[in-house]
Structure 1
Amino acid sequence: SFKSEQMSPPQISDYLDRVVKPELQAINGVASAEILGGSTFAMRAWLDPARMAALGVTPLDVRDALAANNFTTAAGEIKAGFTQQNINAQTSLETPEQFAQLVIARHGTEIVRLGQIARIDLGPQNYDSTSAFDGVKAVFMGIQTTPDSNPLTVIGNVREAMPEIQRLLPQGLEAKIAYDATEFINSSIWEVAKTLAEAAVIVIIVIFLFLGNLRSTFIPVVTIPLSLIGVALALVALGYSINLLTLLALVLAIGLVVDDAIVVVENIHRHIEEGMKPFNAALQGAREITGPVIAMTITLAAVYAPIGFTAGLTGALFREFAFTLAGAVIVSGVIALTLSPMMTSKLLKEHDEGSRFGRFVERVFGRLQAFYRRRLDGTIGQRAVFAWVAVLTIAVSVVLYQAIGRQLAPAEDQGVLFAFVNAPEHTNLDYLQTYTDDLTGTFMAVPEKQNLFAINGFPNSHSAFMGLILRPWEKRDRSDLTVMGELQPKFMAVPGVQVFATAPSAIPVGAGELPVEFVLTYPGDYTKLADVLDTLKAEAMKSGLFIFTNADLRFSTPQVELIVDKDKANTLGVTMRDVGATLATLLGGNNVNRFTVQGRSYEVIPQVPRGERSTADRVLQYRVRAADGTMVPLSAFISLGQTVQPNGLQTFQQLNSATLQGVPFPGRTIGEAIGFLEAKVKEIMPQGMSYDFKGESRQFVTEGNTLAVTFLFALILIYLVLAAQFESFRDPFIILIGLPATVFGALFVLWVLGNINGMMQNDTPINLGSGTINIYTQIGLVTLIGLIAKHGILMVEFANKLQETQGLDKNLAIKEAAAIRLRPILMTTASMVIGVVPLLLANGAGAKSRFDIGIVIAAGMTIGTLFTLFITPAIYSYVARDRRHMREEAVVAAKPAEAAEAKRLPPMSAAAE
C-alpha cells in the first residue's frame, strides 16, 4: 500500500506507474505489478453543452480538432556533410494551457478555442474506483509471480527490494506491505519443520521405552538422520525442493524409517537373549529377517507409486510427497539390512542383564506375550467369527465412507478474510462507498484485526473488495472461521447491499471465485436460464447449507432507451453517426488520443461534467448540427424509454450460461453443497439444459474419485507385489486381511469428528481437523495399506518358515510367529502412531491438513493393529497352505547330496577321529 497526505491518488498512481512498477517487474519471477484502487493522469476536457450550442460547436468538432492538432510524430533527421541532426516537430500538446488554446472551429473571422467551451485540467483517467488502507486513502500494487517460479523466493526478493524503494519515495509518500499470501506458506513450513523435530524426539523416546536399552535404541535411531540425508540427496537428484509437502512427508517418514531397523534389532536381540554370540546373532537374525524387510520395504514404497503417477491436481500436489516417502522407505530398508546388523554385533553385549528399567521392560513384554498367546488359542478356535468380523468391517466402512462429508481440501486458517460487497446494478460509486465506510467500522472493531484494505469499484463500479488481515496465529485465540461466523450475521443485516465474507481457498483457484461455482448451460435464450437459476438460488438458501449465494445472471439492470425517429432526423439532416459520436463523446468518457509528458503518454478525454449527465432529460438537451447549420436538441427527434437488461451475458464451453456461486456454512462441506444442487437442478431444469462446474467445485468433482481409484490401484499393486514375493495368492490375502479394520478405524474417527464439527460449526476450542474425506485424509488411507501390510508380512513370513523348517502345523506356526513378532509389531505401530502425535497437536498455519493426515494414520494404525493381531492368525489358520511337506521334500532331497559329499571327503585319521 502507498499513502500520502500531500499527494493525490492520481499523483501516487502516476509515480507508481513511472518508477515503482518497473522496479518491481524487473525482479526475476515477477509476472506483473498492477496498480489497484488508483488511476493515472489524463487530460480531462470538461465540455459545457450550453456554450457549445451557443458557439455552434458539436462534440464531433471537438474530437476532430483534438485528433488533428494533438499529434505526436517522429519527424526524421537531416544530414549534411559529416553531420546529422534529429528533427523534433512540436505537433503535440502537453499542458492544460496549450489544450485550452486549441482551435476547435472557425466561423468567418471568429475563432472558437477549446478553453471557451470546456474546463481543462489534469485529472484521474477514471473516477470509478477508490481504495483505503486501515481507513485512510491509499493506492495498492498487486504483485503476481510467474507460474514456474517459487513464490517464496520471488516475494522474498520483493521484500529485499522494498527498503531501497522506500528510500527513493517522494517526501510524504509511505509504503507498507499490506498483505502477503506467502506468510501463510512460510508459517506452515516453519510449523512442519518444528513438527519434524518433535516427531524425531518422540520416536526416539518410544523406541527406548520399548527396548529399555540405550545401546539398542541408538541403532534404529541412527536410521533417522541417515535416511533423511539419503532422501535429501534424492530430492536434489529429482529437482525437488524443500516445501510444505516434502516436509510433511519427512514427518511421516520419521515413524516409517525406524520400522525396518526396529524389526532387525529386535530379532537379533532375541537371539542374543537365547544365548547366541552377538556376531552370530547378527548374522542369523539378519538372514532370518531379510525376506520380511525386503517385502515390507517394497510394499510400502510401492504404495506411493500410484500417487506419484496420478494426473491432475492430486498428482501435481502430492507427487513430491509420494516420492519423498518412497525414497525414505527404500533408504531405511537398505540401512536396516546393512548398517543395523553391523552395529548390533558391535554394540549389544552377550549376557547383558541391562538396567533395572530394561529388566522391567523385558518382564512387561514377557507377560504381555504370555497373555497374547492365551488369547490366540481362543481366536483360532473362533476363526469363523473373525472372518465375519472382517466382512462386517468392510460393509461398515463402505457405509461410513458414504456418510462422511467431502471436500477437496480442509479449510485452513490463512490469517485473512475477504469480503465482497455487491450494490444494485443501477447504483454508482458514491452509493457503494457509503456502505463500505460503514463496513470499515465493523471490520475495525474485530479484536483480531491487524490491517484492513478496501478497494471500491472492483471489479465494477457497484462492487467492492475488502480484506481483513488477522493477527498472527500465535497472537489470537479465535480462528478465521470463528471471526467470519461472527461477522456474517452483521453483514446479512445490512440493507441496500449484499455483503458476504469468505476465507481464501486452501488450493489454487481463480481470483474472485467462491467455493461453489455451479454453472447452468442452455442453447436457448437467457431468460429461461435466469428463471431456473433464480429458483435454484432460492432452494439453496432454504436448504440451510449456504451462508451466501449469488446468481451472475439477473435481469435487474435498468437501462434508458433513446428511441430515434429516423425520419425526423433525416429531415433535419442529422446522421446516426452524428448522434452516436455526440453521445459517446459527451457521456462515454472515451479517449481521443494521447499526449506525452516527460517521455510518458497519457489519454486525452473529452466529456461533460457529472452534473450535465445526471438524468436522461439532460441528455435530450444535447445539441447536434442540422443540415442548415443550426444547432438542434436531441429531443427534436429522440424520445425516452425504459427497459430492464441483464447485468451480463456469459458463455461456458460455447453455450449460453449462468452461474450460481455460494459459500457453505462453517461445518458444511462443498460436497454436501454440490450434492444438493445436483439433486435439485435435476428436478427443475427443462429438456436441453445441463450443468457443469467451475473453479474449486470443478476441481472437487474432477479429483473426487481420483484418490479412490488410486486406493484401489495401490491395493491391487500391493497384492501383486506380495504374490510375487511369497509365490502365493493366498498369503497376500492373509497379509491384507487387517486392512478393512484399519480403514474402518480411520473412517469411524473421521465420522465422529465430522459430526462434532458440524454441531459446533467448526467453532471447536481445539483443532479437530475437518472430519471430511479430502485429499489429505485419502493420502492417509492409501498410506495405511503399506503400514498395516507390514504387520501381516512379519507374521505370515515367519509362520511359513516355521512350517517349512520345524515341521509345525499351520495353527501352531501362526501362534508362535504372532507371539514372537508381537513386540516388533507393537513397536513399529507405536513409533508410527506416537510419531504423528505432533500432527494431532498442530496449531497455527496449515494445522488442519496436518491433523487430517495424522488422525487417519493414528486411528487406522491403532485400531487396525489391534484387529490384525487377532484376525491375521485366525484367517491364516483358515486359509494358509500346509507347508510341512516342503520340509520333508527338502530332507529327502538333501540325503543324496550328503552321500555324494561324503564320497568326496578324504578318510579321517585316528588322530582326527
Structure 2
Amino acid sequence: MIKQIYFQSGQAVQQGQILIQLNTDVEQAQLGRLQAKLKQAEMAYHRTKLLIDSHAISRAEMDTALADRDMTRAEIQQLQASIKQKTIRAPFSGVMGIRQVHQGQYLEAGTGIANLVDFRQILANFTLDEQLASRLKIGQSVQLKIDAFPEKSFTAVLKPGMYAKLDIQESERPSLVVPETAITYTAYGNTVFLAKQDHNKLIVQRVAVVLVSSVEGIDYLSSSTVQGRSAVTLRMQLNRDSTQALTEVMAKVNQVRYKLPEQAFDPVIERSSGESTDVAYIGFSSEQLSLAELTDYLSRVVEPMLSTIDGVAKVQTYGSQRLAMRIWLDTDRLASRGVTAADVANAIRQNNYQAAPGQVKGELVVSNVNVSTDLTSIQDFKNLVIRNDAQNLIRLQDVATVELGAASTETSASMDGSLRSVLIPVVTIPLSMLGALGLMLLCGFSINLLTLLAMVLAIGLVVDDAIVVVENVHRHIEEGASPVAAALIGAREVAGPVIAMTITLAAVLPLLYQLPQKELAPNEDQASVLAAIKAPQHANLNYAEHFNQKLDEIFWTFPETSTTWIINGTDGPASSFGGTTLSTWSERVHSADEIQQQLQAKVGDVEGSSIFVFQNPALPGSTGGLPLQMVLRSAQDYSTIYQAMQNIKQKARESGLFVVVDSDLDFNNPVIRIEVDRAKANSLGIRMQDIGEALATLVGENYINRFSMQGRAYDVIPQSINTQRLTAQALTRQFIRTDQGTLIPLSTVAIPAAGVSLGQALSFLEQAASELPTGFSYDWQADARQYVQEVNIYTQIGLVTLIGLISLDRRAAILKAAQIRLRPILMTTAAMVFGLIPLLFATGAGAHSRFGLGLVIVCVCWLVNTIKTFTLAVYKSYNRLTNRRKNHDVEWAEQPACCCLSFCV
C-alpha cells in the first residue's frame, strides 16, 4: 500500500530522489521482533561459550547457539533489504509524467506509477519507403523533426531495425517559436472573501510572479486576477527552448506550492506557441439535450475524435457548461427544519465517499473489493439523510432541489526569345530549388508563405546570374571564339562579380536594422473580422447575452457576412469574443479592412459595452487583444496606479487618435462588504470560520466532492437558489449554528455595509506617460511591442533583393567598361521589374503584402538602375582621372570612350 507520494505530475526529479514510500508497518514490526530475537540469541551464545570452556555442555550445543545467532542476523538483513525496496527512488534524472496512483492504493508487481522521461537521449522509430531504404546506412547521421517538439531539430543515428521517413511539412506560415508558459491558479470555487475581498488571490499572484521571475529567457511576464482565478503568463524570447523553460517553471512552482491557500487547486502549467490562433470553429446545437448535456457529449465523443486528426494541436470547447450535480439549497426550508448549509456540506462529504479498499488474496484467486460508499444518481442524492431526528429523517430533497446541471453558468456561445538563351535559366531554376529544398530540410524550415516568397526572389537572382553568364559567353562567340572556349572564358570573367554580388546580400543585412521602424507586417485579408466585447465589471452572463445580441444583428447588416459567432464569458462574465466569417473574395465588393472600419463605426453606437473590431494578425506570435498596449509599472499601490492610468486614458480619448481606449485594471466592481460583530459572535459561540464556510457554500459555487456516472467523475456543487442571494439583505438571512446547537440568522452578528464602487499613437502615449509622477515607468505589449522592435518583414525581403540588384555587376561595369556590361544590366533589371509588375495590380487575399513588396522592388530598382547607368561610369572615370592627374600619369585614350558611351546611352 502506498503510504506517501513525494512527487507531482510534471515535476523534475534527480537520480536517487524518493518518489513513493510504501507501507512498511508489518515489516517494521517483524524487524522489531527479529531484533529482540537476535538479542536473545546473542545472550544464549555467550552463555554457551562460558559453559563450553568449563566443559559443562557439548560442542554440538555450542554450534546450535552460534547457528541461531547467525540465522537471526541473516533474517534481519533480508528484512532490511525488503524495507529498503519499498522506498521507490528515481533511477535517473528526468521529468515525471502523469501520476497514475494515489495515496492508500494497493500495488502489485508491474503496476505503473508514472513515466519518467530522460530528455538527454530520445529513441525514435521511423518508417521508410522500400525504394529509398538503400540510401540509408547503419550509423548514418540524420536530421529529425518530432511532432512533440516542433521547434527543435534533432541529430540522430540510424540503428539496426530502425528506418527513417524525412519530409517537409507544409503550412501557411513558418512556425515562429514564441513560447508562452502559463501558470493558472484556481480557487476552491468562487470563494466569498470577507473584508479584504481579493486578499487570497493577490497572495497567489504575487507568489507566482516572484517564483518564476528568475527563469532564464523571459521576454516579459504578466499576471491577471479575477474572482476565483489567477494566472501568470511568461512570454519567452524568440526561439527560446520552451521545453526547458517549462521544466524550470514546474520546479519553481513546486517549491512554493505550500504557500498557496489551502482551498486552492494545484496550479495548472500550460505551454503554447505564438501560433495559438484558432483556425476553425464548429458549431453544435441540439433540440433534445441541454447545454450541459451537449457539453458532456462533446467532451466524451467529439473532442477525442478531433484530437486524433493529424495536424490538430488542441481542441477547445467555447461556451461550454460542464455537467455537475447541482444542489439548490432553500434557506427557508433549511431554517424550518433546523439545518444549516454546513450540515448539508458535511453530510455530502461523509456519505459520498469514493473508497478503494484493495484486494482479497486467496490461495489461487485475487479478488478486488468494491464497496458502494458513493452516490451515483440524482435519486441517491435526494435520499441522502442530512439529520436523523427522533421522529423523522431529514433528507436532502426536503431542503434542496437536486438536478444534473451546469457546474458554472458564466459562459455561453452562439454561431451562425532564343531557345538556347531561355534553356539555361530554365535548367538552373529547378537545380537551385532542389538545393534550396535540401538546405531547408536540413535547417528545419517548412514550406510556407515566407519561404515560398524567398524562393520566388531566389529564382529572380538565379535568372539574373544566368543572364549575365549567357550574355558574356554570347559576346565571346560573336568575337570569333568557339562555343567551348567562349563558355570557359566567359564564365571565368564573370565568376568573381557573380559571387561578389551574392556575398553583398549577406553583407548588408546588419545595415537593414538601422532603418526607421515602421510596422511588423501589413494586414492581410483573411476573410474574417473579429470583435472583443467588454461589459462593466458588475455584468453577469444575462447582461452580456442581452447586449451582445445587438452585435450579432449588426454583423448581419453587411451582405458579405457568411457566418457569425459570439462566445460569452471568455475571461469572466464581463468579457466576450465574437466575429464574422466573410464570403470569398470573388463574391464580395468590400475588403476586410473596409468592413472592419464600417463595423467599428456601427458598434460605437452600442450602449452598455465597449466593442473593439480587429482582424487576426498577419504573422503568428501576436499576444492578441488590442494592437497598441501600454503597461504602467510602479512600486506604489493599485489605487495610485489606477489614478495615473485614468489620466492617460482621459488624454488618449481627448486626442482623437484612438477608436477604443480601455484598461485591464478596474475598481468599479460593486462589493458587498459584510461587517461582523466579533464580540457578539464570540459570546454566542460562533467562529469566523463558520460564517465564512456558510457563505462560501451558499454563494460561492464551491464543489464538495465528486460522484461517478457512466465511467466519469463529476462535481457535486451545493448553492442557495438564485432568488435568495440577489441582495446583501438576503445574505444576512442565512442561518448559522452556535456552540449550543441553536440556529441564529447571520444578521444577528453581521450587517452589510454600503455598496462599494472603487471605481501618431505611440508618440502621443509616450508624451502622456512622460508627465507621470516620479516612480512610474512604462513598457509595451502586443503588436506595439513588436512595432518598436521590428521592420516590416516584407519590406526587409524587398530591400535585400533591391540591394542585390542595384549592386549587380558593379565591379565589372567599372573595370571592363560600361559598353560591355550595359546589356546584361538592362536585361536583369527589366526581367525583375516586368516580372514583378503583376504584384502592383494584385487583388484578393494577400494583396497588401504583394503590393508592398512589388512597390519597393519595382520603383526603387528601376529608378536606381536608371540613375546608375548614366552616372556611375562617369563618376568613377572622373574620380580615377582626377587621381591620375595628381600623379602626372594621365592616359587619355582609354577612359573618355568608356564614360562617353555610358553617358550617351
TM-score range with shorter-chain normalisation?
A: 0.5 to 0.7
Q: Which has the higher contact order (CA 8 A, sep 6+)?
A: 1
8 Å contact from structure 1 (residues 44, 121) kept in 2: yes
- Check whether the contact 2:505–2:800 (CA below 8 A) recurs between aligned residues: no
- Match runs of 1:674-689 below 5 Å: 674-682=762-770, 684-689=771-776
Q: 1:250 to 1:31 in 2, by over 3 A?
A: closer
Number of the residue aligned with 2:779: 692
Alignment pair present for 1:228 and 2:510: no
SS at match of 2:355: coil
For residues 373 and 413 of structure 2, the distance between their equivalents in structure 1, rounded to whole angstroms, comes to 37
Evaluate the alpha carbon distance shift between residue 305 and residue 533 of structure 1 in structure 2; reply closer, same or farther with a 3 A threshold: closer
Of the three residues 574, 590, 602, the one matched with 1:462 is: 574
Contact residue 387 and residue 393 of structure 2 kept, 8 A: yes
* C-alpha distance 223-883 of structure 1, shift in aligned 2 (>3 A): farther
Matched, 1:88 2:370: yes
SS in 2 for 1:786: helix
1:243-322 matches, cutoff 5 A: 243-300=448-505, 302-303=507-508
Question: Aligned residue for 2:795?
Answer: 777
Contact 1:520–1:690 (8 Å) recurs in 2: yes
- The residue aligned with 1:841 is 841
Give the alignment of 1:32-431 within 5 angstroms.
32-134=314-416, 208=417, 213-300=418-505, 302-303=507-508, 406-431=518-543
Change (3 A) 1:885 1:686: closer
Secondary structure in structure 2 of the residue aligned to 1:458: coil
Query: What is the aligned counterpart of 2:597 among 485, 505, 515?
Result: 485
- Separation in 1 of the partners of 2:299 and 2:369? 29
2:286 aligned residue: 4
Q: Structure 1 pair 585/424, CA: closer, same or farther in 2 (3 Å)? A: same
Q: Work out whether residues 58 and 623 of structure 1, in 8 Å CA contact, stay in contact via their aligned partners in 2.
A: yes
Contact 1:558 1:642 in 2 (8 A): no
How far did 1:261 drift?
1.6
What runs of 5+ residues in structure 1 fail to find an aligned partner?
Answer: 135-207, 311-397, 648-671, 705-773, 799-816, 889-913
Deviation at 1:27, TM superposition (A): 4.4
CA contact (8 A) 1:514 1:695 kept: yes
Contact 1:418 1:502 in 2 (8 A): yes
Paired residue secondary structure (2:754): strand
Which residue does the alignment assign to 1:161?
A: none
Whether the aligned pair in 1 keeps the contact of 2:476 and 2:490 (CA below 8 Å) is yes
Contact 1:132 1:453 (8 Å CA) reproduced: yes
CA contact (8 A) 2:671 2:756 kept: yes
The whole-number CA distance in structure 2 between the counterparts of 1:12 and 1:681 is: 49
Relative distance call for 1:485 and 1:429 in structure 2 (3 A) is: same
CA shift at 1:275, angstroms?
4.3
Aligned to 1:7, the other structure's residue is in SS state coil
Q: Which residue of 1 aligns with 2:300?
A: 18
The equivalences for 1:813-828 within 5 A come to 817-828=817-828
Q: Is residue 47–residue 608 contact of structure 1 (8 Å, CA) maintained in 2?
A: yes
Matched with 2:266 is none
Secondary structure of the structure 1 residue equivalent to 2:455: helix
State the number of aligned residues. Answer: 605
Q: Secondary structure at the match of 1:642?
A: coil
Aligned pairs for 1:453-532 within 5 A: 453-509=565-621, 512-532=624-644
What corresponds to 1:622 in structure 2?
734
Q: Give me the whole-angstrom Cα distance separating, in 2, the residues matched to 1:640 and 1:297.
A: 77
Letter in 2 for 1:681: A
Measure, in 2, the Cα distance between the counterparts of 1:89 and 1:415: 58
1:297/1:777 Cα in 2 relative to 1: closer, same or farther (>3 Å)?
Answer: closer
Distance 2:834 2:714 in 1: 65
For 1:286 and 1:511, how far apart are their aligned partners in 2? Answer: 51
1:860 maps to 2:883: no
Partner Cα separation in structure 2 for residue 3 and residue 89 of structure 1: 39
Residue 555 of structure 2 aligns with an amino acid whose one-letter code is F
User: C-alpha displacement at 1:521, in angstroms?
Assistant: 0.5
Aligned position for 1:171 = none
- 3-state SS in 1 of match to 2:659: strand
Cα displacement (A) at 1:26? 3.9
Map Cα deviations across residues 683-722 of structure 1 (whole Å, 9 max, x no partner): x211010001122222222335xxxxxxxxxxxxxxxxxx
Q: For residues 858 and 466 of structure 1, what CA distance do their matches in structure 2 show?
A: 40
Query: Is the alpha carbon distance of 1:883 and 1:233 closer, same or farther for their aligned partners in structure 2, counting shifts above 3 Å?
Result: farther
Inter-partner Cα distance in structure 1 for 2:836 and 2:635: 53
Instruction: Give the SS at the match of 1:418.
Output: strand
Which region of structure 1 is more displaced relative to structure 2, 876-885 or 419-428?
Answer: 876-885
The answer for unaligned runs of 5 or more in structure 2 is: 1-282, 890-905
Q: Does the residue aligned with 2:581 lie in a helix, a strand or coil?
A: strand
Query: CA 1:511–1:10 in structure 2 vs 1: closer, same or farther (change >3 Å)?
Result: farther
Q: How many Å separate the matches in 2 of 1:232 and 1:86?
A: 59
Work out whether residues 561 and 583 of structure 2, in 8 Å CA contact, stay in contact via their aligned partners in 1: yes
Residue 580 (1) aligns with residue 692 (2): yes
Distance between the aligned counterparts of 1:259 and 1:510, measured in 2?
A: 37
TM-score under structure 1 length normalisation: 0.63
Instruction: Specify the alignment match of 1:666 in structure 2.
Output: none
Identity %: 45
Q: Distance in 2 between matches of 1:590 and 1:512?
A: 31
Which residue of structure 2 lines up, in the alignment, with residue 906 of structure 1?
none
Q: Closer, same or farther in 2 for the Cα pair 1:858/1:90, shift >3 Å? A: same
Evaluate the alpha carbon distance shift between residue 516 and residue 476 of structure 1 in structure 2; reply closer, same or farther with a 3 A threshold: same
TM superposition shift of 1:629: 2.6
Q: CA deviation at 1:432?
A: 1.3
Secondary structure of 2:572 counterpart = coil
* Deviation (angstroms), 1:31: 4.2
Contact 1:220–1:265 (8 Å) recurs in 2: no
1:512-911 → structure 2 map (5 Å cutoff):
512-644=624-756, 672-682=760-770, 684-703=771-790, 774-798=792-816, 817-880=817-880
Please give the root-mean-square deviation of Cα atoms over the aligned residues, in Å: 2.5
Work out whether residues 550 and 606 of structure 2, in 8 Å CA contact, stay in contact via their aligned partners in 1.
no
Q: Distance between the aligned counterparts of 2:687 and 2:384, measured in 1?
A: 26
Give the whole-Å Cα distance in 1 for the aligned partners of 2:663 and 2:442. Answer: 49
Whose helix proportion is higher, 1 or 2? 1
Give the distance between the partners of 1:412 and 1:643, measured in 2 at CA: 48
Cα distance in 2 for residues equivalent to 1:673 and 1:19: 48
What letter is aligned with 1:789?
S
Question: How far apart are the structure 1 equivalents of 2:376 and 2:681?
Answer: 38
The answer on whether the counterparts of 1:101 and 1:115 sit within 8 Å (CA) in structure 2 is yes
| 1:27-60 Cα deviation digits (max 9, x unpaired) | 4554432221011211011101011111111111
8 A contact 2:519–2:790 mirrored in 1: no
Partner Cα distance (2:624, 2:571) in 1: 9
Q: TM-score normalised to the size of structure 2?
A: 0.64
Could you give the per-residue CA deviations for residues 372-410 of structure 1, whole angstroms, max 9, x where no partner exists?
xxxxxxxxxxxxxxxxxxxxxxxxxx9xx76xx822111
- Letter of the aligned partner of 1:782 in structure 2? V
Query: Contact conserved, 1:10 with 1:124, CA < 8 A, in 2?
Result: yes
Distance 1:34 1:646, change over 3 A: farther
Change over 3 Å in CA distance of 1:218–1:646 after alignment to 2: farther
Q: Return closer, same or farther for 1:783/1:303 CA change in 2, 3 Å cut-off.
A: farther
